[in-house]
Amino acid sequence: MSGQDIEIESEDGNFSGYLSVPASGSGPGVLVLQEIFGVNPAMRSIADWLAGAGFTALCPDLFWRIEPGIQLSSEDDAGLKRAFELFGLFNHDTGIRDITSSLAKLRTLDACTGKAGAIGYCLGGLLAYRTACHTDSDASVGYYGVSIADRIGEAAGLSRPLMLHIAGDDEFVPPEAQARMHAGLGSTPLVTLYDYPGQHHAFARPDGDHYDATSASLANQRTLEFLHRHLG
């Protein structure tokens, strides 16, 4: 596999994305939707992991309209402070436009075999849900997405498969919000919900304080099987 930054074209301007291609040279496409820390080494490593599993992965810079090229650390106070500022400034509707442009770009690449989906974490987990509701993503996966319970009505737009990983002790998604997610999405045939009791937000981020290898491995296994099934 190999990784490089590429340019993504949109009606509002061009922005960058990190592209990682499998050793075979091609595979189904997957967008990697960032946490609040930008296209940092953690997001790039996820793209590389997907490429190692046979996917052509593209992680677009969704903060480019605020400040291009953000790469923050989740492990220092200054990085956390700036990340939450960016989260507050982020426009979710233009974000979906940029995701739509990124999906279109991914599908045009010679390294993409045709079908393309999305996977996202934290803010990106919410965006993965919204991507499933508002774009032609062939399959979408969200890890500990925030504020999904406030947007259950958007699920009316679902037409392709969606998988959500829910951290049971997520400090940003309280139990009542998780209950609303299950009530609003649990009976939808296109949606698969997995709960991880006792796990905190970002349990699948290897460099994070709440990383849990067992739960992360299980979630990642489920994700790869889901993506191979629907994109392969």
- Residue 104 sits in a domain of what CATH number? 3.40.50.1820
Of the chain, the end-to-end C-alpha distance in Å amounts to 18
The alpha-helical segments, DSSP class H, found in 68-194 are 77-89, 92-108, 123-134, 175-185
Report d(CA 1, CA 81) in Å as an integer: 34
The catalytic residues are: 170, 201
**Segments of the chain with pLDDT less than 70:** 1-2
Interhelix angle 123-134/92-108, nearest 10 degrees: 70
pTM value is 0.96
Domain count, the chain: 1
pLDDT at residue 1, rounded to an integer? 64
- Chain mean position to CA 17: 14
Q: Is 49 helix (H, G, I), strand (E, B) or coil?
A: helix
- List the domain range (segments joined by +) for residue 89: 2-231
Residue 46's Cβ-count burial label (10 Å; 0-12, 13-18, 19+) is: buried
